Amino acid sequence: MAALVAGAREGDQRCVARLVSLVEDASPLLREVMAALAPLTGRAHVVGLTGPPGVGKSTTTDALVRRLRAAGRRVGVLAVDPSSPFSGGALLGDRVRMGDHALDQGVYIRSMASRGHLGGLAWSTPQALRVLDAAGCDVVLVETVGVGQSEVEVAGLADTTVVLLAPGMGDGVQAAKAGILEIGDLYVVNKADRDGADRVRRDLEAALGLAGLEPGRWRPPVLATVASRDEGIDAVVAALDEHRAVSERSGETERRRLRRAREEVEALALTTLRERWESASGRGAPGEDLDRLAAGVAAGRQDPYAAADELLAAWAASARTAGTADPA
Amino acid sequence: MAALVAGAREGDQRCVARLVSLVEDASPLLREVMAALAPLTGRAHVVGLTGPPGVGKSTTTDALVRRLRAAGRRVGVLAVDPSSPFSGGALLGDRVRMGDHALDQGVYIRSMASRGHLGGLAWSTPQALRVLDAAGCDVVLVETVGVGQSEVEVAGLADTTVVLLAPGMGDGVQAAKAGILEIGDLYVVNKADRDGADRVRRDLEAALGLAGLEPGRWRPPVLATVASRDEGIDAVVAALDEHRAVSERSGETERRRLRRAREEVEALALTTLRERWESASGRGAPGEDLDRLAAGVAAGRQDPYAAADELLAAWAASARTAGTADPA
């Protein structure tokens, strides 16, 4: 274990990969790993990339990785697919292209499937980020699929959130309305050589203008790229760097990181608490009490609030009976 | 309150609307409301509709409502937009068309914005469903935006999950790979009069065939519709009814409802617990302890597991100091 951590600190790819696997498997060793890595964290620039399927997120990630590597920066990529709890390899086709970077010791690429545990991204991604950060990545790109809850979560994780759109994706403006206007620090209209790209860009700028930014706040730029031909990627990298510099000066980076740490600590506390209850009751999750109460609720014999109260009372009682300290 | 519940039981639209508002506002009265409604629940067929933006979910919902009403069934619609924590009215333009049904006492339509609280959909939607169920809806359609975590959540809520796709949405198969093959009980290719619809349908059928269904299990049909012209809607309603009948016979409906109740009860128990801790510590959420610990984690002085342990210890200590019973 010590060797793994030491290897990761020195940037050994296999050690980094093993540590990320421990995170994915929710290994009991994580506690020790995270304690060893903590002092090394907080340096990487965490960049979230999100947008609807088909906008070219993987192509853009690939182009960004190449540009950042050309500038001598170490890069991590976490490809998170929260919509696929069952098929972790669903995006394999996309990732294969990333094979270009396979021999480059300055790049770590990892697809993560959120395995449907409570909290999804919220639980494992921050810890995988921590591993890549400690391993000395200058930039970690977190790429998520889809428009929905996941992009709000990614915005919570990232120092800088990039929202990708493209022409011909159904109705770009509809997507734009559905929550993305609040989360982007940077908007990129990819496939800018296609018909309709100008319109997507204009609609987006108009919608962002209407969103009513406070004076003095960062104004999210709208950039155009053709990632498949590396066009516009320099400007994206420059905007990422500028956003980071501005956010560090304004204290925004620190505010986001504090919020992120609060959410992570609270989620871990609740998980720990639940595990203690489950082990105190001597039964596996979700436990007989919960099954019995759920059956009552499903049949309409009991309301969910009363069932929740009973569950808490049963957990507390079983903790006392088992002679453990009180559940917390 | 008693009058509200009585009104909802008799199907009074204003009473139903007031009760759903209590759910959205996380009112302290909910406990009492849910106790009164519990015996009336468990009858509605809960149908989830999901798919990427632009496939025509609202148009399809609208067409389904009309068809179900024509058959004399009472219908509820919950339009959930998990990606928009800030702008609850984002989909107003879409909903306006639903105005056709505004004067029909047999239809309840409600847009819900998940307000960013822990769990999103998981918390408020089951309770809003409970209200519509108790109010005598035969079918409740839950429409969500986006591809991502939200659709996995919707599959957890629904007795029957309908996945909508359409041609020209970027790459339908890419969307199809990203997690939807596991969740649909029924697939609908909408805008079937457009170029590429046949290909979306064939690709989907091929992908579903590869998914390797166990023998004897429900085989999800792939249907084609042009919802804007009401084409194919009868077949969708027939498939919904068939899936419900098959699932009730096989026990699948009961299994899904039990799982749903388990998740709801557990989420409420954790919420209740956190509220007790916060009130016991005499501080508002998220609490000074959490802020201090988060700062340590963000700065790399402490790892998140150790911080979570300290948080639990601080909560337990403050509960004891305040002279309350143990936190659970």
Mean pLDDT to the nearest integer, B121-149: 79
Q: Over the stretch B248-266, which tens digit does the pLDDT of each residue have?
A: 999 999 998 988 888 788 7
Mean pLDDT to the nearest integer, B13-37: 86
pLDDT greater than 70 at residue A308:
yes
Rounded to whole angstroms, the Cα distance separating B5 from A125 reads 43
Q: Which of B34, B44, B39, B24 is nearest to B1 (CA)?
A: B34
pLDDT greater than 50 at residue A71:
yes
In this structure, is residue B179 part of a structural domain? yes
Collapsing DSSP states into helix, strand and coil, what is residue A169?
A: strand
Mean pLDDT to the nearest integer, B125-147: 85
Rounded to whole angstroms, the Cα distance separating B12 from A15 reads 63
Rounded to whole angstroms, the Cα distance separating B77 from B283 reads 39
Q: In what order do the strands lie in the sheet with A139-144?
A: A107-113, A75-81, A139-144, A45-50, A160-165, A186-189, A222-224
Indicate the range of A123-137, A193-207, B87-101, B313-327 predicted with least confidence.
Answer: B87-101
Residue of A259 and A90 predicted with greater confidence: A259
Collapsing DSSP states into helix, strand and coil, what is residue A10?
A: coil
Q: Which of A:39-68 have CB within 8 Å of B?
A: 39-42, 52-55
Q: Over the stretch A126-168, which tens digit does the pLDDT of each residue have?
A: 888 889 999 999 999 988 765 444 445 566 789 999 988 888 7
Domain match, A95 and A242 both = yes
Domain match, A300 and A238 both = no
Q: B308: which 2 tokens?
A: 């979570």
Angle at which helices B252-280 and B304-321 pack, to 10 degrees? 70
Q: Which helix (H) or strand (E) holds B186?
A: strand B186-189
In this structure, is residue B191 part of a structural domain? yes
Q: Chain B contact for A1, CB < 8 A?
A: no
Q: Chain A contact for B251, CB < 8 A?
A: no
Question: For residue B146, what pLDDT is reported?
Answer: 53
Domain match, A221 and A267 both = no
Residue of A256 and A110 predicted with greater confidence: A256
User: Cβ contact (<8 Å) for A83 and B180?
Assistant: yes
In this structure, is residue B188 part of a structural domain? yes
User: Cβ contact (<8 Å) for A82 and B149?
Assistant: yes
Instruction: Out of A275-279, A315-319, B246-250, give the one with best mean pLDDT.
Output: B246-250
Q: Chain B contact for A116, CB < 8 A?
A: yes
Taking all residues of chain A, what is their mean pLDDT, rounded to a whole number?
77
In this structure, is residue B274 part of a structural domain? no
Domain match, B298 and B171 both = no
Domain match, B246 and B309 both = no
Domain hosting residue B287, numbered range: 281-321
User: Cβ contact (<8 Å) for B145 and A148?
Assistant: yes
Q: Which of A:136-175 have CB within 8 Å of B?
A: 144-153, 166, 168-171, 174-175
pLDDT greater than 80 at residue B160:
yes
In this structure, is residue B275 part of a structural domain? no
Domain match, A193 and A111 both = yes
Reported ipTM exceeds the 0.85 cut: no
Q: A48: which 2 tokens?
A: 């979230």
Question: For residue B210, what pLDDT is reported?
Answer: 60
Size of interface A-B (CB pairs under 8 A): 316
Question: For residue B185, what pLDDT is reported?
Answer: 92
Q: Which of B178, B132, B87, B117 is nearest to A266 (CA)?
A: B117
Report residue B230's pLDDT band, with 50, 70 and 90 as the boundaries: very high
Q: Please enumerate in sequence order all residues whose Cβ is within 8 A of that of B108, keeping only pairs 6 or more positions apart, or say none.
A: B13, B16, B17, B75, B76, B77, B132, B135, B137
Collapsing DSSP states into helix, strand and coil, what is residue B140?
A: strand
- Mutation target for B interface from A258, A262, A283: give the one with most B CBs within 10 A: A262
The residues that bridge with B162 in the sheet, in sequence order, are B49, B186
Q: Please enumerate in sequence order all residues whose Cβ is within 8 A of that of A107, keeping only pairs 6 or more positions apart, or say none.
A: A65, A69, A74, A75, A76, A77, A101
Domain match, A143 and A212 both = yes
Residue of B99 and B135 predicted with greater confidence: B135
Q: Over the stretch A239-262, which tens digit does the pLDDT of each residue have?
A: 999 999 999 999 999 998 988 888
Question: For residue A8, what pLDDT is reported?
Answer: 87
Q: What angle do CA A123, A115, A6 make, to 5 degrees?
A: 55
**The last residue of a domain, from among A250, A276, A297:** A250
Which residue's structure tokens are 């069952």?
A: A86
**How many angstroms away from the CA of B240 is the closest CA of chain A?**
21
In this structure, is residue A8 part of a structural domain? no
Domain match, A223 and A285 both = no
Q: Please enumerate in sequence order all residues whose Cβ is within 8 A of that of A86, keeping only pairs 6 or more positions apart, or say none.
A: B179, B182
Q: B64: which 2 tokens?
A: 């389904």
Instruction: Out of A155-164, A193-202, A275-284, give the one with best mean pLDDT.
Output: A193-202
By Cβ distance, the residue of B170, B181, B265 closest to A307 is B265
Instruction: Give the total number of structural domains in chain B.
Output: 2
Domain match, B306 and B199 both = no
- Mutation target for A interface from B303, B309, B310, B324: give the one with most A CBs within 10 A: B303
Domain match, A213 and A268 both = no
Domain match, B213 and B117 both = yes
CATH number of the domain bearing residue A161: 3.40.50.300
User: Cβ contact (<8 Å) for B149 and A297?
Assistant: no
Mean pLDDT to the nearest integer, A187-213: 83
User: Cβ contact (<8 Å) for B38 and A86?
Assistant: no
User: Cβ contact (<8 Å) for B149 and A30?
Assistant: no
Contact A49, A180 (CB under 8 A): no
Cα-trace Rg, chain A: 22
Q: Chain B contact for A286, CB < 8 A?
A: yes
**The last residue of a domain, from among A250, A275, A294:** A250
In this structure, is residue A302 part of a structural domain? yes
pLDDT greater than 60 at residue A297:
yes
Contact B58, B97 (CB under 8 A): yes
Q: Over the stretch B59-89, which tens digit does the pLDDT of each residue have?
A: 899 899 999 999 999 999 888 754 433 333 3
Indicate the range of A5-14, A224-233, B146-155 predicted with least confidence.
Answer: B146-155
By Cβ distance, the residue of B54, B262, B297 closest to A264 is B297
Domain match, B189 and B286 both = no
Indicate the range of A82-86, A102-106, B153-157, B228-232 predicted with least confidence.
Answer: A82-86
Q: Which helix (H) or strand (E) holds A239?
A: helix A233-250
Closest residue on chain B to A307 (Cα): B265
Question: For residue B162, what pLDDT is reported?
Answer: 93
Helix (DSSP H) and strand (DSSP E) numbers for chain A = 13, 7
Mean pLDDT to the nearest integer, A185-197: 93
Closest residue on chain A to B29 (Cα): A305
Q: Which of B285, B309, B266 is nearest to A325 (CA)?
A: B309
Report residue A194's pLDDT band, with 50, 70 and 90 as the boundaries: very high
pLDDT greater than 60 at residue A81:
no
Closest residue on chain A to B257 (Cα): A298
Question: For residue A291, what pLDDT is reported?
Answer: 84
pLDDT greater than 70 at residue A174:
no
**The last residue of a domain, from among A250, A272, A289:** A250
pLDDT greater than 80 at residue B119:
no
In this structure, is residue A34 part of a structural domain? no
Question: For residue A173, what pLDDT is reported?
Answer: 47
- Dihedral pair phi/psi, residue A164, rounded to 5°: -100, 135
Indicate the range of A78-92, A142-156, B4-18 predicted with least confidence.
Answer: A78-92
User: Cβ contact (<8 Å) for B54 and A175?
Assistant: yes
